[in-house]
Chains A and B, each alone.
Chain A
Amino acid sequence: MSIYSDFHSARDELYKCMKCGNCQEVCPLYQTTRKEVTVARGKIGLLEMFVTGEADMTAGMAERMSYCTTCMACNEKCPCGVQFDRILLAARAEGVRRHGLHPVKRTAFTALRLQRFFNFGMRAGSKLQAAVFRRVEGRDYGARMRVDLGLLGQKKVFPRLAAKPFRSGRPALYVSQPRMRVAFFTGCMINYFYSDMGEAVLDVLKHNRVEVLIPENQGCCGVPASVNGDVASARALAERNLRAFEDSGAEAVIVACSSCGSAWKHSYERLFEGDGEWEPLAAKWAARAYDINEFLVNVIQYDREGLGRVERRVTYHDPCHLRRGQNIFREPRAILQSIPGVELIELKKPDRCCGMAGSFCIVHPDLADKVLDLKMADVAQTPAQTVATGCPACRLQLWSGLINSGLPQDAVHVVQLLQESYANAAAG
């Protein structure tokens, strides 16, 4: 039984917890609020009472489950091996079953399911954004909301919507004598906001003679829906993506977003646990899913001969769903260190959550900002010129934080530096 279908399937996970409170040490929310409800132990306590019947899954309890960035730092710390993200996702799904979804989220996830409608909306948005957003002075890549819609706050700096979505009408990338034939799952952030990251992925794969298909029918990975307990939307999106990639004839799926990567590797199988039709397909593609960093380092052993100099001091932020979600943290560092001229300077706590956490920063903007402040303080103490990361969502959060903190660094994905390095070599 999937944790998404029945909360009781997370029961054994609940009872592993011995309430020692060690999760307090690493929880980014507890560190900023010092309230028990924000840390894993507190929520486990609540859910235990729900299971035993001592407390109801009230709307209030369901709401308390939103206090988590699913950064999984507690999983790593827990002496008893509790996988808190499993418990939390099951609880959120239970909350939605009982109390429904927040109307804003319901509209958003429905839009995601209707890919063409969503695409139209984002295109329209790219034309209208000037009316809604005010450009950040002196920087060409960000804008703040002109008015506070009561949701996002006016502080967060958003990248500009791409005039044309990255995938729109883009042909497959064919190379002569391809070493492999892969399909690129872009995810929404790259498709609508960060075309530059998408271009970097394609350029780097092209340089390494990898053929890249871009299946047209792909959509949102479904993580925004599954982490918010909207299981039906998450499953619909997963089915669409699995079908699109199964039909593509590719040998592997490449992702450059840590959440999308976790979806392919873990969420799809969990969503379809016990489903005779979809579970095998989800398992098949989970085994063929690669984050771009691990693909380059471990699968095709990317070309290190053709690297040009990039003179830059770079620090690296570990996305939670890459570091703890997929155990990928050596690979991006290996890439950075292989680029001549790049000096990698570690943060004090490179794997502390940046506070973005998808819709978390929309539901709890103040808390997300406080978590981000800690990250910015860490960055400010390094002499780094660039903050590299492995996820477009983290990149957005870091960007926003850097601008709001008045820090001069920019934030890029690791492959963008690799792209630059190859380009510099080619330019001689």
Chain B
Amino acid sequence: MQKELIKALTQLLGKENILTETEDLLNYAFDATAAMPKQTPDLVVTPRSTEQVAGVIKLARQYGVPIYPRGSGTNLCGASIPLERGIVLMTLEMNRIIEVDPENLTAWVEPGVIIQSLNDAAAEYGLMYPPDPGTVTTATMGGSVSMCSGGLRGLKYGVTKHYVMGMEVVLANGEVIKWGGKTVKNVTGYDLTALFTGGEGTLGIMTKVLVKLNPIPEARKSLLAVFDDLDKAGNTISAIIRGKIIPATMEIMDNTTIRTVKKFTGADLPEEAEAVILIEVDGYREAVEREAALVDEICRRSGAVSVTAAKTDEERDKLWLARRNALPALAQVKPTTVLEDATVPRSQITAMLRAIRAIAHKYDLPIGTFGHAGDGNLHPTILTDVRDEAEMERVHKAVDEIFAAAVQLGGTLSGEHGVGIAKARYLPLEFGPAGVEVLRWVKEAFDPHYMFNPGKVVLRG
């Protein structure tokens, strides 16, 4: 059967678009997620058109083989690991920017386009694609739309789902549908575009995406505020929002992160600080100046030990150095970095930070927390070593408690990384059994045989 399938796929795609040798396939047994099971696919294919994707799907259906869509493999929940072997369908050769439309502020792209490439193309028109995940220079549009990735600008600009206006999708039966369009308003039928955004490749394969673009703001300004007390930091975040200011970015780092970043980068931060908040406002020059002055004043009034505002791009880079290096620095402490993205309402940030600290203490684990304070999306980062089984046991328990704490505070298991393999078994915690069952109905309506990305999000009943 395997041989027949390979023969048929070769006919469809050409020899150069299929990987069959073990040493090539092993490369697709993992993605960017730590502490996940590895599984080698049977085949890797790189279709170059919608028709070829449809052809692969028809063959997979005929031979009863699962399909695992994959872009750059940079997701953080095991979403592209081929748990049940089968075919890894790479979108990287479908990488054309089909159109940038400056009048409608939209762009049509193929799924293999790297996010930054779209930004570069849009910049020629003074436009940008606002979702800004940490992997903007490596991740694909198909991947980030499928995972509904977030990023640093969520507070003001929202996340991927706020920018997807339509798409072309190949369904499990091989049919191709187009949904949505360039109109801002569109209430015709169920919003399948919204369903597939964040669908994690479990419902169908996206072959084209239509996204919304924004004008590039004229100016931006960054400020860094240092706090000797968590509550003061939390209050500052609330005070800024209450002050009717919506910064593009509002990032926080806890003491563990501060000390680690300082150690590895020499960043100019006080080691005893309990928290630092990095704020960036953007917009028209005059508005930015006014907002920056207000933010500065609010930080000082709320008890910041110090506030530094960047006057030049160089100074801005210096302020951002610490935040940009938060994860890399933490990752250098121990071999394994378990990065979570439990998210709470912004008003609960302080409570969540305290809960994480208690969990770190309870399980005797180093946990550095940093993240997007403006949208309540924190990244508790557990530093460990997969080779130490006893410690991994404690890590798993700590993760369980972090999720429970987030849900208890009115938050969610995942703000931006997605469910994948990593959080599939935690879904009842948030939805209850009835909620999970609804997910299953939706999954089975689109993909009754669990052909697309099986083992992720919705498990077989």
Contacts and interface: CB of A to CB of B under 8 A. Distances in A.
Interface of A: 15-16, 18-22, 24-25, 34-37, 42, 45-46, 49, 54-55, 58, 60-61, 63-64, 79-81
Contact of A21 (B21, B46, B72, B90): B72
27 contacts: A15-B335, A18-B337, A19-B30, A19-B32, A20-B74, A21-B72, A22-B138, A24-B74, A25-B138, A34-B90, A34-B92, A35-B24, A35-B27, A37-B24, A37-B27, A45-B26, A49-B26, A54-B38, A55-B22, A55-B26, A58-B22, A61-B23, A64-B24, A79-B325, A80-B328, A80-B332, A81-B332
A19 B332 contact: no
A18 B32 contact: yes
B422 to A, nearest CB: 14
B93 interface: yes
Nearest to B334: A15
A45 B30 contact: yes
A49 B29 CA distance: 10
B30 A18 contact: no
B416 to A, nearest CB: 15
A351 to B, nearest CB: 16
Given A15-B335, A19-B31, A45-B29, A37 B23 contact: yes
Contacts of A19: 30-34
B47 to A, nearest CB: 13
B50 interface: no
Contacts of B10: none
Given A19-B32, A21-B72, A34-B93, A45 B332 contact: no
A16 B335 contact: yes
A58 to B, nearest CB: 7
B21 A60 contact: yes
Contacts of A21: 32, 72-74, 135, 138
A81 B327 CA distance: 12
A64 B23 contact: yes
Given A21-B72, A21-B135, A60-B21, A36 B332 contact: no
B137 interface: yes
A18 B381 CA distance: 13
A67 to B, nearest CB: 10
Contacts of B157: none
Contacts of B22: 55, 58, 60
A37 B73 CA distance: 13
A338 to B, nearest CB: 26
A42 B34 contact: no
Given A34-B92, A35-B19, A46-B26, 14 more contacts: A18-B331, A19-B33, A21-B32, A24-B74, A25-B137, A34-B90, A37-B23, A45-B26, A45-B27, A45-B29, A46-B23, A55-B22, A80-B328, A80-B331
